């Protein structure tokens, strides 16, 4: 597992009671979705004037994982606040995949 938080930021330095707190988490991941191997069979048929013959052989397709493993984001705090996930998405297409999660809570 190679998840790393690169930053945790709030939308402002001080909140008043009832304000919406927005927390943004920037992170990276090198974890890839596991893709299963697939065994396939190739069949060859040869034909001439006297008849035909065929044979088979198996080959293995082992795709490389190219998508990041889904990531969840949860926040807890020492005041018992409830946090809601607004968004959580990867923003890049190659590893290490950058991601951004945004959560909110009431002050």
In this predicted structure, what is the pLDDT of residue 30? 92
- Given pLDDT bands bounded at 50, 70 and 90, which one contains residue 65? low
Whether residue 95 contacts residue 43, with contact meaning beta carbons closer than 8 Å, is answered with no
Which of 53-57, 64-68, 80-84, 98-102 shows the lowest mean pLDDT across its residues?
64-68
Which contacts (CB < 8 Å, 24+ apart) does range 13-20 have? Answer: 15/107, 16/107, 17/107, 18/106, 18/107, 19/106, 19/107, 20/104, 20/105, 20/106, 20/107
Q: Is the whole-model pTM more than 0.85?
A: no
Domain-wise residue ranges, the chain: 3-35+65-106
- Given pLDDT bands bounded at 50, 70 and 90, which one contains residue 1? low
- Given pLDDT bands bounded at 50, 70 and 90, which one contains residue 34? confident
């Amino acid at each position: 597992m190679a998840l790393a938080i690169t930053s945790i930021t709030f939308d402002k330095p001080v909140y008043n009671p009832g304000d919406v707190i927005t927390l943004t988490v920037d992170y990276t991941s090198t974890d890839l979705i596991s893709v299963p191997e697939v065994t396939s069979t190739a069949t060859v048929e040869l034909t001439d004037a006297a008849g035909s013959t065929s044979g088979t052989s198996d080959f293995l397709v082992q795709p490389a994982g190219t998508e990041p493993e889904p990531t969840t984001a949860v926040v807890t705090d020492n005041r018992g606040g409830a946090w809601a996930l607004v968004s959580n998405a990867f923003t890049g297409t190659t590893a290490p995949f950058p991601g951004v999660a945004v959560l909110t809570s009431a002050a």
